[in-house]
Every structure is written in structure tokens, then in C-alpha cells.
Structure 1
Amino acid sequence: ENDHEIVTMARDELKRLEPELVESTKNLQLLLLPRDPNDDKNILLEVRAGAGGDEAALFVGEVFRMYQRFCEKQGWRFELMSANATGIGGFKEIVAMVSGNSVYSKLKFEGGVHRVQRVPATETQGRIHTSTVTVAILPEAEEVDVKINATDLRIDVYRSGGSGGQGVNTTDSAVRITHNPSGLVVVCQDERSQLKNKDKAMKILRSRLYDLEAEKSAKAHSDQRKDMVGTGDRSERIRTYNFPQERITDHRIGMTLHQLSDFMEGKIDEMVNGLIAYNQLEKLKAEGYATS
């Protein structure tokens, strides 16, 4: 009788521990996967207007603020690097540096085309318009990551224009850096100091060059893609924000959430975590580990 009790207790204990065993096995397998060398890096966050004119430019500002709120909730430092305002409250392009713990690993799947469906404020017939913005998440490149020859650069300074505030355009504080070999051009005019604008422009240029090299390398080794979410192509439509239905859908993993207003307030954790979990699962499958 005692033996029977012990066997029953052992079975119950085994049943109780089984989920923990599965979780521990998965965690161990994840540790065995090759790690993305950029995961601990800070990022350059770029949001650009795509199709849709003024409506796309307005959505650039909204998406940028969404990420800003999310980053602040994470306790990360969020620094505006460059902004090209349209004058109607929107932006052609806006760039920020985000610094903190494992920033790239959490936000790397946000890059791609974000589509918005809604009735613009200027629409008198109540028709739904579709516009797009493009998000790029670039790992911050240190000077050791990218060698830039001073002879490859053309640096122009001029008086900044636009809505920079009083006193911004009284001196030649705006900086435009052209990297001749790649054709990349970076403009910074948000600071009153030419030196600060030049420093920010160089940081942006360095990260863009680093990303350019990474893209070339990825194309050359397309069969060895590190991450498994979507195609990794910057022109891939990754997400739709449907305002009339209060719905956000990520097309890569088929996840749909229904609190759009909360999402735009920076409450994007569920989507971010879902993308990370999906990527981990697909990587485990690709390595031949059991994932059931």
C-alpha cells in the first residue's frame, strides 16, 4: 500500500514538474542558439513618410511618439537627432537615438512598412484613406565598427530654416554631411550649436553605413539569415493600423490586437514580446530542436 502511495505521489509530482521541464529545456535550447551580435546595442530609430502625402507625414509624428512613450516606459534614454517637419504638424522624416538595456533586441522587428487606414481630418466625404510610413531600426555603430575617412566626406554648413524655434537660424549652425563613396547624405539642424549638429550627423551617418554593410553581407549570405520574422526586407509591409475598427495587425505573425488607442500611447509590449517569441520558436525549429 505504501509503495502504491509513493508511486502515485511520484506521478503527481512528475505531472506538476512537466511544464517546468519543458520551459527549462526550451531556455537551454535558446542559450545554445547563435546570438545576434547587435542585440545589446543602442539604436537609431528612423521614421519616414511613404505614400499618402500630408496624412502619411502626420502619421510619422504619431508613430514616432508611440515609440518615444514605449522607450520612456522601459527607462531608456530617447534623444531626438534630426527632424524634417512639413509645417502642418507632420514630418517627412524624424530620427532618434535610443540608449538603454538590450534596446536593439527588443525593437529590431519594428523595421518595415507600417500602413494606416483612417478618415483624415481634411476628408469631407468621410472616406477611409490608406497611407504608409517606413520604420528603420539601425544598431548604433561605434567608431570601431565603421571606419570613415575624412577625405570621403563633404561637410556643408548653413543657416537652418523651418520650425526650429527663435534663434536657431541666426548662425550657420545647420550641418549637411555627404559621404561621397556611398552617396549617403545626413542633415542635422535641430541644435543651435554647429558642433552638436555635426556630432549628431556623424552618429547617424556611422549607423547608416554600418547598416549598409550589414545589408550587403546579409544578401551575400541570404541562406544564413539570423532572424526568422518576415523577409527582413525594409520594403515589406509588416503592420496595419485600422483606426475605424480600433485594430492593429502584424502580418508576419498574424497577431491582431484591438486596443489601438492604447497601442498608440506606447503600450506595444504584447506585440513586441509576441514577435520575439515567434522569432525564438522559428530559430529553434530551424536548428532542429523539438518545439512542441
Structure 2
Amino acid sequence: MLEQLQAIEDKFLELENLISDPVVLANQSEWLKHTRSHAKLAPIVAKFREYKVVQQSLVDANEMLKEKLDDDFKSLVQQELTELKAKNEVLAEELRILMLPKDPNDDKNVIVEIRGGAGGDEAALFAGDLFRMYTRYAETQGWRVEILDASPTDLGGFKEVVFVLEGDGAYSRLKFESGVHRVQRVPTTESGGRIHTSTVTVAVLAEAEDVDIDINPTELKIDTYCASGAGGQHVNRTESAVRITHLPTGIIVTCQDQKSQLKNREQAMRVLRAKVLEQAEAQQHAEVAEARKSQVGTGDRSERIRTYNFPQGRVTDHRIGLTLHKLDFILNGDLTELINALITADQSERLKQVQ
């Protein structure tokens, strides 16, 4: 790991020189690319430099203990050595976490879908509560909120609401919110004071980037033939008509409207690009739908990642066994402690897998 960290610091220094180079400064897009890379490496390099200072201090302290020291001074050095060892272990753990493979979606914006599950009107009301909780949290993070679709109810809730959160690290902070959220409370419409259990499903999806279509010429089969008119008669005897087969997808496009083979080929490629793009987007949508399905399950009351219990004022995340008695604060957007605990649990699990 130390060799990797040193290589990262070397790259960091190289980028530092590049972003101060007048030639690079003159090329804004190039400068921005290097600046972003530099910023991403900065937290690791800062922690690695701190670690190296502690390492050197450990060496110095051990060397000092080899000398003849009076008891009081020796005791102070030993105490410092104990503190340095503890700090060294903490820094080593933090570096291991920083070196974990990063989720490629972490820096993306998110699309959040909230839908009322079991519980009718009460589920819809709680869907509204969760929408406000996430938007208030977004405000504390400086994220932009944009509603894409909403089906409000007469009582002030939502059958469903879909919105985008745009901002740094949105997906990295909210990706663990996907699943069934269960609420236990006395509905305002309940005259008998009985506690009802309802559910709301939440899906958090990394915003997909535009699908770029790059068609490899080696993956095309191009046939030419004589264009034909009505009744099968040849319009001309030159092979101006074009048939293009995109081998990876099996999409076939033909064009014979133009007299020139080159023109027909250009037109066929325009149609082919559109069809390949359409298929790629359809596949992307299918993958998003599958991700959504895996995240929210059926919305049944027993499928829950978290319970919001109003009578006891508590929120329990069942995945990590964490209970916080601060329901009002959480519903007002104070999600930091909860989200940090989920991120820490995820990091611990991934560390076990690489050790």
C-alpha cells in the first residue's frame, strides 16, 4: 500500500506543476481536467503526509529510548511513543478506507423516486414527509432540487414523487436510502387512537449520462445492390442501393432513395445511428428499471430497511442495528449521523473483503 500511496503523491506533485504551467493555463479545458484530478487526490495525499510524519516521529522516539535517559524523561518518551502508535493505527485505517475502490457513480447526481406502498392515504402522507426530509437535507448540502413528476393527494401527500438532486457527492451520500421505509404512527384520520403501520418505497438512482454512440466500422457488414422500383424492375443497373448490418445488435438498415451509392450510404448510417441509439437507451432504461425493482422490493410491510416510530420518537435502521431517538430532527433533514453510520458500515464491510 505504501508504494501505491507514494505513486499517488508523485502524481499529485506532477499535477501541481501542470496546473501552474502557463501553457496549461492557456488551455482552460486541459487546466480544469488537471485541477479536478488534483482535487480528487488531495485528501489521500494529505493523510499520507500526516502518516509519514507520525512514522518518522516513531523512529525518532524509539531511537531516543536507546539513549541513557533519566526516569522522568524516559517516561515522557514512552508516553509519547504510546500515543504515536495509537495515532499511527488510526491513520493507517483511514488510508486503507481512502484507498478502497471508489463507486464510479459516487460523484453523480441522483434521481429519487418515492412511492406510497402499503397503507393507502397514510402511506401517501408519509411519502410527502420523506420528500420534505430529503429536500431539506439537500438544502443543507447545497444541492439543487428539481421535481420531475408528482402525483399529489388531497390530504397533502404523494402517491408518487420523482425528483433530481444535483450536487457534489449526491449519490455517495444517498445511495443507501433505497428500500422500503416503514412508518408507525396514529393517522390524523384515526379516531380510535390506534397505531397504523404503513410503508413507502424509495429508489435512489445515479443519473444516467447521455449515451454516446460510437459505431466501429469493423462491426458493419455493408452490401450494395441494384436499386429496384415498383414491380421489381431495376431503376438503374449500378449498385447504388446500400444495406448495412450492425453485427453487435443485428440491426439492418437499407437505403436506395438516392442515385449515388455514397449518398445512400450516408443516409443509411444516419438511420443506423438513430436505431442503435434507440436500442442502447432502451437497454439503459431496462437496467434502471431492474435496479429500481431490486432496490424497493414489493413494498410489503415486512420488507423494510428503516422504521420511523412516532409514539417512541425513534428511527431504527435495521441493516446496521442503529436506533436514534431524534425522529423530529431526522424528518427535518438532519440525516448526517444516520448517513455517516451507513457509510462507515459499508466501508468496514469492504475492508473485510480486501484484507
State the TM-score, normalizing by the size of structure 2.
0.57
Q: Distance in 1 between matches of 2:199 and 2:172?
A: 24
Match among 327, 333, 350 for residue 266 of structure 1: 333
1:239 is matched with: 306
Partner in structure 1 of residue 162 of structure 2: 95
Which fold has the larger relative contact order, with Cα–Cα distance below 8 Å and residues 6 or more apart in sequence? 1
After superposition, the Cα gap between the structure-2 partners of 1:280 and 1:2, relative to the gap in structure 1 and judged at 3 Å, is: same
> Which has the larger displacement, 235-244 or 26-35?
26-35
C-alpha deviation, 1:145, in angstroms: 7.0
Unaligned runs of 5+ in 1: 148-204, 217-231
Hey, what's the Cα distance between the residues in 1 that align with 2:197 and 2:346?
29
**% of aligned pairs identical?**
53
Gaps of 5+ in 2: 1-67, 215-281, 298-302
Instruction: Specify the alignment match of 1:65 in structure 2.
Output: 132
Report the counterpart of residue 51 of structure 2 in structure 1. Answer: none
Tell me how far apart the structure 1 counterparts of residues 314 and 209 of structure 2 sit (CA, whole Å): 39
Conserved 8 A contact 2:105-2:206: yes
TM-score normalized with structure 1 length: 0.69
Q: Distance in 2 between matches of 1:81 and 1:258?
A: 33
The worse-fitting range, judged by mean Cα deviation, of 94-103 and 20-29 is 20-29
Query: Which one has a larger percent helix, Structure 1 or Structure 2?
Result: 2
2:163 and 2:284 mapped to 1: Cα distance? Answer: 12
Asked if structure 2 preserves the Cα contact closer than 8 Å seen for 1:139 and 1:207, the reply is: no
Distance change (3 Å), C-alpha of 1:80 and 1:120? same
Q: Which has the higher strand share?
A: 1
Aligned-residue Cα RMSD (Å) equals 2.5
Structure 1 match to 2:319: 252
Change (3 A) 1:264 1:214: closer
Residues 146 and 206 of structure 1 are in contact (CA less than 8 Å); yes or no, is this contact kept in structure 2?
A: no
Residue among 72, 81, 95 paired with 1:28? 95
Count of paired positions: 217
Aligned to 1:116, the other structure's residue is in SS state strand
Q: Which structure has the bigger radius of gyration?
A: 2
Amino acid at match of 2:120: G
1:211 to 282, 285, 288: 288
- Work out the CA distance in 1 between the residues paired with 2:349 and 2:72: 42
Deviation string, structure 1 residues 6-28 (Cα, Å, up to 9, x no partner): 54233211222233212211122
Q: Which string of whole-angstrom CA distances, capped at 9 and with x for unpartnered residues, describes residues 177-202 of structure 1?
A: xxxxxxxxxxxxxxxxxxxxxxxxxx
* Equivalent of residue 179 in structure 2, options 98, 112, 120: 112
2:345 maps to 1:278: yes
